[in-house]
Amino acid sequence: MISPDAARNVVGIIGNVISFGLFLAPVPTFWRICKRKDVEEFKADPYLATLLNCMLWVFYGIPVVHPNSILVVTINGIGLLVEGTYLLIFFLYSPNKKRLRMCAVLGVELVFMLAVILGVLLGAHTHEKRSMIVGILCVFFGSIMYFSPLTIMGKVIKTKSVEYMPFFLSLVCFLNGVCWTAYALIRFDIYVTIPNGLGALFGAIQLILYACYYRTTPKKTKAAKGVEMPSVVVSGPGAATAAAAGGGNTGGGSVSVTVER
């Protein structure tokens, strides 16, 4: 019979693969930016948010904070590299005003992370306390990212059209949330469970909405300009969001989709 640890590792590896796919979802957007050498109306906000999310989850998963969470570290470490690459491209092709804003936000994020790291390592002396402090921060920021799909879901209900809510992306976000929730439940981890449970819930709602409004969606007359995705990955987690996600989410979780028109 397979042991809980072995089952958890298998589920976590599957979660890493799914979350990695979510982190790569914005590649077409950045390919377009590189070709045109212009960020146009695209915004760096989703990628800055996902970067902070990934940093928090990497810190959460290291042995001095929460032992036996290496798969959380791997996917969010990859997320850091991917999001950093996106932001570098964004910086290269942005006007000075956007560059200054990006630098300011990055500076705030780095100062915040430094404060968290020093505060946790110097002020909390047990794994339980460290996990609780960092875990609460991960849940807070991850949950905010996972509420972002509410905007696009509201638009689907209002317009009775799923034109801007791609089925495949919704399905992958749902699977990502389910996978990381299962990972967290095998050896119960409340801080990974909450954001990824939300990601699975919102992913399921998106799939239900897709089933309800697919037939009432008008034929495409105009292509969308682009899709931005914070991979929220959380989870833990961190992927998706974001866009995944995000998520995440590990990556784990749901991914917010913003359509620039």
222 within some domain: no
pLDDT in tens, the chain (261 residues): 778 888 888 999 999 999 998 888 888 889 989 999 998 888 888 889 889 999 999 999 999 999 988 999 999 999 999 999 999 999 999 999 999 999 999 999 999 999 999 999 999 999 999 999 999 999 998 877 777 667 778 888 888 888 777 788 888 889 999 999 999 999 889 999 998 998 899 889 989 998 988 888 776 654 444 444 444 444 545 555 444 333 344 444 434 444 344
DSSP 63-110: TTTSSS-HHHHHHHHHHHHHHHHHHHHHHHTS-HHHHHHHHHHHHHHH
- Kindly state whether residue 101 falls inside one of the protein's structural domains: yes
Asked if the structure places residue 27 within a domain, the reply is yes
pTM of this prediction? Answer: 0.79
Residue 94 domain flag: yes
Give CA–CA dist 186/188, Å, rounded: 6
| Number of folded domains that form the chain | 1
Using only C-alpha atoms, the chain has a radius of gyration, in whole angstroms, of: 18
Residue 232 in domain: no
* Contact between 153 and 206 (Cβ < 8 Å): yes
Domain-located, residue 254: no
- In this structure, are residues 183 and 8 in contact, taking their beta carbons and an 8 Å threshold? yes
Residue 253 lies in a domain: no
pLDDT at 249: 43
pLDDT at residue 220, rounded to an integer: 60
Residue 162 to residues 29, 97, 209, 211, 226, Cα–Cα distance (Å): 20, 34, 8, 9, 15
Q: Residue 148's pLDDT is what?
A: 67
The answer as to whether 98 is a domain residue is: yes
Residues of the domain holding 24: 4-216
